[in-house]
Each structure stands twice: as structure tokens, then as C-alpha cells.
């Protein structure tokens, strides 16, 4: 049975199994990404547009994840304009 949640207007709703599965998948992927970043703490040379810098690999990984998430959000919004959730 799904656990009740609250809508902004205060009415109770339930999460579908698809929503729960998506939430679990995101949590697992986030944990894997965090562990991967924590294991890679050494300094690396990063070539930037204007020069280069030495940064911890964890910073490079997190920045790449954030850039990828931002691109995904932008493309997700763009592709979802014509769709309606059922």
C-alpha cells in the first residue's frame, strides 16, 4: 500500500509504484556517484578554455554531474512541453 503524501493544498495523495521506483533508482545512482567521487580524491590537471588548473578529482566529478543534471533538466523541460501526465 502506498504511503499518503500531502499536496500543496493539503489534500492527501499516494505515490505510485512507478514514482517510488524512480525515487529509489535516483537514490541508488546518487549514492554510487557520491562513493565514486569520494574514492577519487587525488589532484588532477584540468585543461580549461583559458589555461589549466590542478583540482581534486572529486570537484571535477561533481561539476560534471551538475552540468549533466542541468542539461538533462533543460532537455527534459523542452521535450515535455507537449506532453500531459496521465
- pLDDT tens column, 35-49: 887 888 899 999 988
Shared domain check, 84 and 47: yes
Shared domain check, 49 and 15: no
Distance CA 67, CA 44 (A): 19
Distance CA 37, CA 69 (A): 16
Shared domain check, 85 and 49: yes
Mean pLDDT split into 10-residue runs, the chain, 86 residues: 56 78 93 84 90 90 89 81 54
Q: What pTM, to 2 d.p., does this model score?
A: 0.49
Quickly tell me which residue has 538533462 as its cell: 72
Collapse the DSSP code of 60 into the 3-class scheme (helix H, G, I; strand E, B; otherwise coil) and give the result: helix
Amino acid at each position: 500500500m502506498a504511503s499518503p503524501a500531502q499536496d500543496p493544498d493539503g489534500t492527501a495523495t499516494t505515490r505510485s509504484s512507478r514514482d517510488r521506483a524512480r525515487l529509489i533508482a535516483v537514490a541508488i545512482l546518487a549514492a554510487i556517484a557520491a562513493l565514486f567521487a569520494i574514492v577519487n580524491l587525488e589532484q588532477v590537471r584540468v585543461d580549461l578554455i583559458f589555461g589549466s588548473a590542478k583540482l581534486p578529482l572529486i570537484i571535477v566529478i561533481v561539476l560534471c554531474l551538475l552540468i549533466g543534471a542541468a542539461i538533462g533538466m533543460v532537455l527534459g523541460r523542452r521535450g515535455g512541453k507537449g506532453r500531459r501526465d496521465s
